[in-house]
Chain A
Amino acid sequence: GNSVTQMEGPVTLSEEAFLTINCTYTATGYPSLFWYVQYPGEGLQLLLKATKADDKGSNKGFEATYRKETTSFHLEKGSVQVSDSAVYFCALSDLAGNQFYFGTGTSLTVIP
C-alpha cells in the first residue's frame, strides 16, 4: 500500500540555520510527491511538488528531490527564518491522482 513516514518533531532551529526534514515513502507504481505547510489555525498550503524520479521541487528557498532509489523526498532550506515556523507535511498521490496520503507532520520552530 501507499504510505509516508516523516521524521518526528518538534524541530527547533535558530534563525539562518540549515533545515532538513526527512520523508520516506512506500508506494506502488510511480507516485507524485508533495510538501505542504500548515500555519497555526489554518489549512494546508502547497509548498512544492515533484512528479517523477530525480525531479527537484523548489519554492521560497525550500527544495526537495524525488529519489526513487532511496524512496525519499527530504525537505531542505539553507537558511530558515522565524516566519518559516509551521508544521510541514510530506504527501504522495497515487498514479491516478485519486488519493493523497499524508505523513504525520513535523513541527518547526525557528527562534531569533
Chain B
Amino acid sequence: DTGVSQDPRHKITKRGQNVTFRCDPISEHNRLYWYRQTLGQGPEFLTYFQNEAQLEKSRLLSDRFSAERPKGSFSTLEIQRTEQGDSAMYLCASSVYPGTGFGNTIYFGEGSWLTVV
C-alpha cells in the first residue's frame, strides 16, 4: 500500500491569499481526517470525512477554512484570506472504519507546511 500523500509539502504565501492543500488517503480507507500542528504542539483536530460526508468540524475551523471530499477519495483543504496565524503544518490522516474491531488506527501523511508572510 502507498501511504497517505499530501501536496504541496511546503507553501509560502502572502497574507490575504488563498491556498489549497490536497490529500490522497490510503486506498480503500473510508475515513479522512485533517489536523493542524504548530511548533511544539500536538496535532489539533480540524475535521473528518467518512466517504464523501463531512461528519464533524472543530471550532478551530473558521469560516475561512473549507474542506471537501467530493468523491470519497482525495480531499482538499482550502484556506481563504490567509492570516499569519494560519502558519502551521496541516496533516492529513486516513483510516478504515469500523475496521476489524477496537483500536481504529489513523495513518498520517507527511504534512503540508504553510508559511504566511
* A contact residues vs B (CB 8 Å cutoff): 4, 32, 34, 36, 42-46, 49-52, 89, 91, 93, 95, 97-105
The 14 listed contacts between A and B (C-beta, < 8 Å) are A42-B111, A43-B4, A44-B43, A44-B91, A46-B105, A50-B103, A51-B101, A51-B103, A91-B42, A97-B98, A98-B48, A99-B56, A102-B43, A105-B40
Residues of A within 8 A of B97 (CB): 97
Given contacts A42-B111, A51-B103, A104-B40, 9 further A-B contacts (CB under 8 A): A42-B110, A43-B108, A45-B108, A46-B107, A49-B103, A93-B106, A98-B48, A99-B56, A102-B44
Q: Count residues of B near A (Cβ-Cβ below 8 Å).
A: 29
**Quick check: is B104 within 8 A (CB to CB) of the other chain?**
yes
Give chain B's interface secondary structure class: loop
Q: How far does the alpha carbon of A11 sit from the alpha carbon of B99 in the complex, in Å?
A: 35
- Check B91 against A32 for contact (C-beta < 8 Å): no
